[in-house]
Amino acid sequence: MPETPDKTFSRRSVLGTVGAAALGATALSGRASASHDSYETINIVDAGADNTGGDSITPILDDVLDDNRKIYFPPGEYYVDEGIRFTDFEKLWLYGEDATIVPAPADEFDGADHIFKLGTDYAPGDWLHIGDLTFDFTAENTGVRAIQAQVNDCYIHDVDFVGEHDAGTHGPMLVDIIDEDSIAAVDRVRMPDGGAWTENTEQDGDPVVRWGPTGFIVSPYHNGTLWVRDCVIGGFPDNGLYDSGKDGTVVVKGGQFENSNTASIRLDGYRSMIDGATITVDGARNDDAAQQAIRLDGGSGCAVKNSEIVLEEPTANGITVRSGVDSAKIEGTTIDVTDGYVNAAIMVEEDAGRTVIDDCSVDLDATGQAIELRSGDEPCVIKNTTVTGDGSGATGGRETIICDRDGSLLRSNTVEHSGPDYRRGVVIRGDDITVSGGRYEATHYPLVVEGDDATIENVTASSYGGYDAVDVDGGSGLRLVDNDF
Q: Cβ(63)–Cβ(71) under 8 Å?
A: no
Strand partners, 114: 145
* AA identity, residue 99: A
Distance CA 282, CA 176 (A): 31
What residues have CB less than 8 Å from 349, skipping those under 6 apart?
A: 320, 321, 322, 323, 374
Distance CA 158, CA 46 (A): 24
Nearest Cα residue to 265 out of 236, 295, 285, 235: 295
Triad 299, 305, 309: Cα angle to 5°: 105
Cis peptide before 446 (omega within 30 of 0): no
Partners of 136 in the beta sheet? 162
User: How far apart, in whole angstroms, are the C-alpha atoms of residue 387 and residue 401?
Assistant: 9
**Complete DSSP assignment for 240-300:** SEEE--SSSEEEEES-EEE--SEEEEEE-STT-EEES-EEEE----TT---EEEEEEEEES
Indicate the residue type of 390.
D
pLDDT by position in tens, the chain (length 485) = 467 554 333 333 322 323 443 443 344 544 554 556 688 999 999 999 999 999 999 999 999 999 999 999 999 999 999 999 999 999 999 999 999 999 999 999 998 889 999 999 999 999 999 999 999 999 999 999 999 999 999 999 999 999 999 999 999 999 999 999 999 999 999 999 999 999 999 988 888 998 999 999 999 999 999 999 999 999 999 999 999 988 999 999 999 999 999 999 999 999 999 999 999 999 988 888 899 999 999 999 999 999 999 999 999 999 999 999 999 999 999 999 999 999 999 999 999 999 999 999 999 999 999 999 999 999 999 999 999 999 999 988 899 999 999 999 999 999 999 999 999 999 999 999 999 999 999 999 999 999 999 999 999 999 999 999 999 998 899 999 999 99
Q: Which of 224, 265, 230 is nearest to 245 (CA)?
A: 224
DSSP letter, residue 238: T
